[in-house]
Amino acid sequence: MGSGTNLVKHFMEIRGLGLINVEKMFGIRAIRHQKRLEIVVELEIWDEKSEYTRTGLDESVVTISDVEIPYVKLPIIPGKNITVISEVISLNYLLKHYGYDSAKFFEKRLTSRLSRKGNDDIRGVDYFEHDFE
């Protein structure tokens, strides 16, 4: 569980803008007195020499106060919408928490497809068959 201090209560720093009061700006529903830390996202300037996960099958954790927390290293470049990507990371974490892992589901589908014999069409739909323009 994480919580702030009375000194910084409801204030947030936005680099390049400064300090804002979240409670005054967005209302009482936008604040928390404490929150459970469920996932750590580290933003990193994209480095072509670094390796980043492409499938999501490799899961990482970080230990904070003797508690293992899921960890995602997110490479960023100018123009990426970090807010939307962070929300996707959160929603994907929730799906995993409730038992659905997209990467594992896709891996099973791919393995099944590769193990089938024959020359089935790779596409699930013939797009030109449905194009009436």
CA 120-122-127 angle, 5° bins: 115
Q: Are 46 and 100 in contact (CB under 8 A)?
A: no
What band does 70 get if pLDDT is binned at 50, 70 and 90?
A: very high
* Closest among 101, 109, 6 to 58, alpha carbons compared: 101
Alpha helices per DSSP H over the chain: 22-26, 82-97, 102-115
Upper half-sphere CA count for residue 28 (Cβ side, 13 Å): 0
CATH 3.40.50.300 in the chain is located at 38-114
Q: Which amino acid is at 19?
A: L
The percentage of residues in the chain with a pLDDT greater than 70, rounded to a whole number, is 87
CATH topology of domain 38-114: Rossmann fold (3.40.50)
Other Cβ atoms within 10 Å of 97 Cβ, number: 12
Q: Are 46 and 75 in contact (CB under 8 A)?
A: yes
Task: List pLDDT tens digits, range 10-31.
Answer: 999 998 999 999 999 999 999 9
Strand 11-14 versus strand 67-76 pairing type: unpaired
Task: List pLDDT tens digits, range 76-115.
Answer: 999 999 999 999 999 999 999 999 999 999 999 999 988 8
